[in-house]
Amino acid sequence: MENARKKFLDPRELKKLKEELILPEFDIPQTGRVAGIDFGTVRIGIAVCDTERILASPWENYARKNPNLDAKFFRQLVTEERVTLWVVGLPLYPSGDESEKSIQARQFGKWLWETTQTPVVFFDERYSSKFADELMKMAPLTQKQRKNRRDKLAAYVILSAWLESDHKKQNKPADLSLED
Q: How high does pLDDT run on average in the chain?
A: 80
Domain span at residue 85 reads 30-168
In angstroms, rounded to a whole number, what is the distance separating the alpha carbons of residues 154 and 132? 5
pLDDT tens string 119-134: 999 988 876 666 666 6
pLDDT tens string 14-31: 666 666 666 667 778 888
pLDDT tens string 48-71: 999 999 999 999 999 999 999 999
Cβ atoms of residues 118 and 88 within 8 Å = no
In angstroms, rounded to a whole number, what is the distance separating the alpha carbons of residues 48 and 64? 18
63 versus 171: the higher-pLDDT residue is 63
Q: Tell me phi and psi for residue 66, to 5 degrees.
A: -150, 165
DSSP state of 168: G
pTM of the model: 0.78
126 in any annotated domain: yes
CATH number at residue 69: 3.30.420.140
6 in any annotated domain: no
Number of structural domains in the chain: 1
